[in-house]
């Protein structure tokens, strides 16, 4: 197992990798399957059958138990090639004995032995028939993992290396005999190569969950009731939240104790008992108190579970479920049922649709929720058809059509049947695969950097090779038909009207023509009719009002500073982060308008109030983003030089350094106040 061609992994390394990936899958799947690990060819002997010189160099490394990270660490660090040889049939007998002894009194669905070997050791076929008979009687299933394919024949070199040895050829024939005896039709399908196994085991298993039945009664009016049982057919999979706070040195959860204390936001930070607190709902900048009693009264009250048909409509208009005797009728009439759905007594009601789903061997129920009014998003965009500037040519339309055709993910095979080239339901969620990969690596390599994403997962999310090759030519055509040019913003020039006054007037027709040629601005559509600076996105509202010029500049500035003060009153980092773009926009728009008075006045008053209001953390954020005064170089009317603006942010810091130095040096508070 430890020999290989130059530049290739040894069979032992490949077998070890297969075991590691299998154990990883079992650990993260969080099921109750138990696993034992038996090594043969080891330097030591540890098994119950080792007597009178038999079953030597076979060691039971781990007894039958649920796999964990400790086993992964042992495989990584303690399992190494041995210098001895052992009969793989003897190892198979040891595994059968282990299963028999350790499953007594246990309930199980299946017993399975996985044998990983290169068959390159002498094996005695004397007891082969006896072993096969015991496997059949015990119901133990068997799988082989080899470095070469079982149907490759004795002369085919494994992985481009030398041909099979005499021991391997004999072992391969014995393997075929065993597997064909256990299952004459499909026995050889349970013999895998190491490379195929590694590829298939690279995908972590999802946590298996039993489907939760939802027994209920489907009602139509007050006279017809049908017992039904519902199951979720599609549900978003989320990884179990198993993160815990542990001590950074000991890595033990018990070494950390968490105490939650509620305090008033006053100078004394008066502690408040949890029983004296209630929930609050943030509505803009206000908090609406909502007690437990209020929450209970708000809940939708029903008599219990409900799945009531509200009426019927055409199937072409909705998607949904149908049930039992209604299935055939609804299917024939091409109609669906609109139902009210309530999961439990205190559950919120839903409205869904039910239409027939008839399969070859069953009739199933599928429920699809319908949106309420608030769930729908209505957007209106101007048509591009009437704008000559954005009308594509026939050649451009043809280029787009060709690109779409070349990137179609469904094509027909030789038999004319449609084939899906990108089966999303066969692609594992990359978030979970990457998470499990990193968790396993960190468990067995505590100090090593995290590995890059597995190549197979990266490739799974790429465009299919067939599509990638087909679309190259259409993409080149697209580049030619839709050339991209860098647009350089021209420096604004003063018009003759601005230079010479209102002596020349543009005609209304000419002004209308200029307005039509203005660039299309998506922001003008999405911003809606904004009349004041709101609390959701104050910076955007401020920019919009400045652009609309519907209010005086000073009034809009006053609205923005009022919103900033509301946000700062919460004294929370999230609100500080929201204030930064507000002040950035305030400064940018003031420079563009050419009015620095409002911004400079506010930023000065804000700095003065920082110590009193305890907003030093927010001020540090302003300093970091260099949001200082607007100087004369930026706006002519400013009374501050660039030096003043630069000193504005650093003055407070220097002042604190001087104060600290004087206190440490003299300790004289009166002199300190004089210096301030």
Burial grade of 247 (CB within 10 A; 0-12, 13-18, 19 or more): exposed
Domain 209-233+254-371 top-level CATH class: mainly beta
- Bridge partner list, 219: 225, 308
CA dihedral sign of residues 42, 48, 49, 52: positive
Share of the chain above pLDDT 90, in %: 13
Share of the chain above pLDDT 70, in %: 77
- Which has more pLDDT, 670 or 570? 570
Whether 2 has a pLDDT exceeding 80, the answer reads no
Q: Compute CA distances 560 → 171, 393, 550, 585, whole Å.
A: 82, 46, 15, 10
Question: What is the model's pLDDT at position 586?
Answer: 93
Question: What is the model's pLDDT at position 156?
Answer: 46
Q: Which CATH number fits domain 11-202: 3.10.580.10, 3.40.50.410, 3.50.50.60, 3.40.50.2300?
A: 3.40.50.410
Q: Give the pLDDT confidence of 591-622 residue by residue, as tens digits.
A: 998 999 999 989 988 888 888 888 888 888 88
Region 143-167: mean pLDDT is: 70
Pair 623, 651: CB distance under 8 Å: no
Q: Give the pLDDT confidence of 387-398 residue by residue, as tens digits.
A: 777 788 899 999
**How many beta carbons lie within 10 A of that of residue 642, not counting itself?**
14
Question: What is the model's pLDDT at position 295?
Answer: 64
Distance (Å, rounded) from C-alpha 561 to C-alpha 541?
A: 12
Question: What is the model's pLDDT at position 240?
Answer: 60
Question: What is the model's pLDDT at position 95?
Answer: 93
Question: What is the model's pLDDT at position 39?
Answer: 93
Question: What is the model's pLDDT at position 318?
Answer: 55
Whether 625 has a pLDDT exceeding 80, the answer reads yes
Region 200-209: mean pLDDT is: 68
Q: Give the pLDDT confidence of 414-425 residue by residue, as tens digits.
A: 777 888 888 877
Query: Rounded to the nearest 5 degrees, what angle is found at the Cα of 118, between the Cα atoms of 117 and 123?
Result: 80
Region 194-202: mean pLDDT is: 82
Question: What is the model's pLDDT at position 4?
Answer: 61
Pair 581, 625: CB distance under 8 Å: no
Nearest to 601 by CA among 648, 646, 566: 648
For residue 629, what pLDDT band results from cuts at 50, 70 and 90? very high
CA dihedral sign of residues 216, 222, 225, 230: negative
Helix (H) or strand (E) holding 63: strand 58-65
Region 503-522: mean pLDDT is: 46
Taking the whole predicted model, whether its pTM rises above 0.85 is answered as no
Q: Where are the domains of the chain?
A: 11-202, 209-233+254-371, 531-648
Whether 51 has a pLDDT exceeding 70, the answer reads yes
Looking at CATH, the fold of the domain delimited by 531-648 is given as: 1.25.40
Region 445-451: mean pLDDT is: 81
Q: Give the pLDDT confidence of 253-285 residue by residue, as tens digits.
A: 777 777 788 888 777 778 888 888 877 766 555
What's the chain's average pLDDT?
78
Q: Which of 185-199, 236-250, 410-424 comes out lowest in average pLDDT?
A: 236-250
- Which has more pLDDT, 385 or 331? 331
Question: What is the model's pLDDT at position 232?
Answer: 75
For residue 96, what pLDDT band results from cuts at 50, 70 and 90? very high
Q: Which of 112-116, 196-200, 524-528, 649-653 comes out lowest in average pLDDT?
A: 524-528
- Which has more pLDDT, 518 or 432? 432
Instruction: Spell out a b/e string for 25-51, using b for 16 or more CB atoms within 10 Å of the CB, else e.
Output: bbbbbeeeebbbbbbbbbeebebeebe
Distance (Å, rounded) from C-alpha 629 to C-alpha 634?
A: 10
């Amino acid at each position: 197992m430890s020999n290989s061609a130059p530049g290739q992994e040894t069979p032992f390394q490949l077998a070890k990798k297969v075991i590691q990936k299998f154990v990883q899958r079992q650990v993260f799947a969080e099921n109750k399957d138990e696993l034992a690990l038996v090594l043969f060819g080891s330097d030591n002997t540890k098994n119950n059958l080792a007597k009178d010189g038999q079953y030597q160099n076979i060691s039971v490394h781990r007894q039958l138990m649920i796999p964990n990270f400790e086993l992964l660490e042992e495989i990584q660090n303690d399992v190494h090639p041995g210098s001895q040889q052992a009969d793989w049939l003897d190892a198979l007998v040891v595994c059968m004995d282990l299963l028999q002894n350790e499953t007594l009194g246990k309930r199980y669905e299946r017993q399975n032995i996985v044998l990983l070997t290169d068959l390159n050791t002498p094996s005695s076929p004397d007891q082969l028939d006896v072993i096969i008979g015991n496997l059949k009687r015990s119901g133990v299933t068997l799988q082989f993992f080899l470095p070469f394919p079982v149907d490759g024949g004795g002369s085919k070199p494994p992985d481009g290396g030398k041909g099979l040895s005499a021991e391997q050829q004999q072992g391969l024939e014995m393997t075929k005999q065993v597997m064909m005896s256990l299952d004459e039709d499909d026995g050889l399908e349970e013999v895998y190569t190491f490379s195929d196994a590694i590829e298939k085991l690279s995908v972590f298993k999802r946590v298996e969950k039993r489907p939760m039945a939802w027994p209920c009664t489907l009602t139509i009016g007050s006279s017809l009731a049908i017992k039904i049982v519902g199951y979720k057919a599609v549900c978003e999979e989320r990884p179990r939240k198993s993160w815990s706070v542990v001590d950074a040195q000991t890595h033990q959860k018990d070494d950390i104790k968490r105490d939650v204390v509620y305090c008033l936001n006053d100078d004394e930070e008066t502690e408040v008992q949890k029983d004296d607190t209630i929930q609050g709902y943030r509505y803009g900048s206000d908090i609406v108190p909502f007690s437990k009693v209020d929450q209970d009264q708000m809940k939708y009250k029903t008599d219990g579970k409900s799945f009531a048909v509200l009426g019927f409509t055409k199937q072409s208009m909705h998607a949904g479920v149908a049930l039992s005797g209604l299935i055939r009728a609804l299917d024939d009439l091409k109609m669906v049922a609109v139902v009210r759905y309530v999961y439990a007594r205190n559950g919120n009601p839903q409205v869904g649709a039910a239409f027939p789903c008839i399969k070859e061997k069953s009739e199933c129920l599928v429920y699809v929720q319908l949106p309420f009014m608030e769930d729908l998003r209505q957007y209106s965009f101007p048509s591009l058809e009437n704008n000559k500037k954005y009308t594509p040519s026939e050649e451009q339309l043809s280029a787009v059509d060709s690109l779409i055709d070349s990137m179609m993910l469904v094509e027909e095979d030789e038999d004319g049947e449609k084939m899906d080239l990108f089966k999303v339901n066969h692609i594992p969620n990359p978030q979970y695969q990457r998470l499990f990969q990193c968790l396993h690596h960190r468990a067995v390599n505590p100090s090593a950097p995290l590995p890059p994403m597995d190549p197979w997962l990266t490739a799974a999310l790429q465009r299919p090779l067939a599509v990638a090759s087909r679309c190259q030519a259409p993409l080149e055509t697209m580049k030619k038909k839709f050339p991209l040019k860098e647009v350089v913003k021209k420096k604004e020039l003063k018009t003759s009207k601005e230079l010479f006054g209102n002596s020349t007037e543009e005609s209304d027709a000419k002004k209308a023509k200029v307005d039509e040629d203005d660039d299309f601005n998506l922001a003008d559509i999405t911003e809606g009719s904004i009349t004041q600076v709101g609390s959701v996105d104050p910076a955007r509202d401020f920019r919009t009002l400045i652009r609309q010029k519907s209010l005086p500049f000073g009034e809009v500035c006053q609205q923005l500073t009022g919103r900033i003060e509301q946000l700062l009153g919460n004294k929370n980092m999230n609100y500080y982060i929201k204030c930064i773009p507000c002040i950035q926009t305030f400064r940018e728009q003031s420079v563009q308008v050419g009015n620095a008075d409002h911004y400079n006045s506010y930023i000065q008053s804000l700095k003065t109030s920082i110590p009193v209001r305890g907003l030093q953390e927010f001020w540090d954020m302003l300093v970091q983003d260099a949001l200082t005064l607007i100087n004369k170089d930026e706006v002519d009317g400013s009374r501050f030089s660039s030096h003043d603006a630069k000193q504005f942010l650093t003055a407070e810091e220097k002042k604190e350094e001087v104060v600290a130095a004087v206190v440490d040096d003299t300790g004289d508070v009166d002199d300190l106040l004089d210096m301030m």
